[in-house]
Amino acid sequence: MKIILATNNANKLREAREIFSPLGIDILSQKDAGISVNPEENGKTFAENALIKARAVHELVKLPVIADDSGLCVDALDGAPGVYSARYAPENLLCETLLQNMQNVPDGERTAKFVTAAVLIDENGKELCFEGVCSGTIAHERKGTNGFGYDPIFLYENVSFAELDPEQKNAVSHRGKAFRKIYDYLTQTLQEGN
């Protein structure tokens, strides 16, 4: 079985392949599938943005597609950056910008959560949405060298996502949780089909 992941982000692709490999599902990036589409993500929620991406890719390939939209929601910033997480600052300045905006926020008020909405459009065009959430806090400085985006400043049980190896991160992360819900759905669907 082949599923197109509506991204060319190598980190997301690696995470998805690690999660879905036990099912024998071949996860392909848009590039692997020979398509190039970059729809405007103008939704007001993570689910709306994931659906926009999934529909754009599904329209071109007519194969099962998974798309996700994820972001960091910081309580002290009224949920920002939220759906604008990737556009909050230039990619190499995401952590620094957020840390600067939180420099006067005390430890007890640095709570945050990563949220993922993952959409699966199956071979018949059926659309399903799954959500994953991981709660934590924002560090005062970068920690670790793994991961990407906000991982170096997001603390889960006092360890940054960038200090976890990929398997540890996938076990607790927002994207890992959402993708495992898709995994469970596909497992059940494949079993019912046999």
Provide the pairing of β-strand 65-74 with 111-121: antiparallel
Q: Which one of 68, 69, 122, 184 is the catalytic residue?
A: 69
- Which helix (DSSP H) or strand (DSSP E) does residue 11 occupy? helix 10-20
DSSP sequence for 127-139: EEEEEEEEEEEE-
Q: Does residue 69 carry a catalytic annotation?
A: yes
Alpha helices in 67-194 (DSSP H): 94-101, 166-172, 174-193
- Distance separating alpha carbons of residues 40 and 47, to the nearest angstrom: 14
- Distance separating alpha carbons of residues 12 and 141, to the nearest angstrom: 24
Q: Which of 78, 86, 21, 26 is nearest to 53 (CA)?
A: 86
Residues 6+ apart with CB under 8 A from 182: 66, 118, 120, 128, 130
The residues that are catalytic are 69
